[in-house]
């Protein structure tokens, strides 16, 4: 599972919490991508090395303030960092990727 933005990261984090609580192991691997460092720091179950902060040169870790266009520009500019998070997932253990993102923010 890959969570983009605050909403996506929280949803993935909740799936991991459920897995831990029930022992179900639904999620084989998880990553979160965000422009806001505070949002990434608030995640409890996604490993720190799987939290990817993008847009540091433009927004300095403060997020995009619900600016969808700026968020899209940053994601495009920093696609190598996003791809790096995906590449770190052991694909031999994964049947599918679920990408989770909200629609209300950046």
Q: Among residues 56, 47, 51, which one has the least CA distance to residue 4?
A: 51
Domain spans of the chain?
A: 2-101
Does the pLDDT of residue 25 top 90, yes or no?
A: no
Structure tokens at 93: 């253990």
Instruction: Provide the pLDDT confidence category of residue 104 given band limits of 50, 70 and 90.
Output: confident
If you average pLDDT over every residue of the chain, what do you get? 93
Architecture of domain 2-101: 3-Layer(aba) Sandwich (3.40)
Does the pLDDT at position 2 exceed 90?
Answer: yes
How do residues 32-73 score in pLDDT, each as one tens digit?
A: 999 999 999 999 999 999 999 999 999 999 999 989 899 999
Among all chains, which residue has been given the structure tokens 């902060």?
A: 53
Rounded average pLDDT over 80-101: 87
């Amino acid at each position: 599972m890959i969570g983009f933005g605050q909403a996506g990261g929280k949803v993935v984090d909740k799936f991991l919490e459920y897995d831990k609580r029930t022992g179900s192991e639904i999620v084989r691997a998880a990553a979160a991508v965000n422009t806001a460092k505070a949002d990434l720091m608030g995640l409890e179950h996604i490993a720190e090395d799987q939290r990817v902060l993008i847009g540091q040169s433009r927004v300095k870790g403060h997020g995009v303030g619900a600016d969808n266009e700026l968020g899209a520009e940053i994601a495009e500019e920093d696609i190598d960092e996003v791809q790096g998070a995906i590449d770190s997932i052991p694909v031999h253990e994964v049947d599918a990727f679920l990408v989770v993102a909200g629609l209300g923010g950046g």
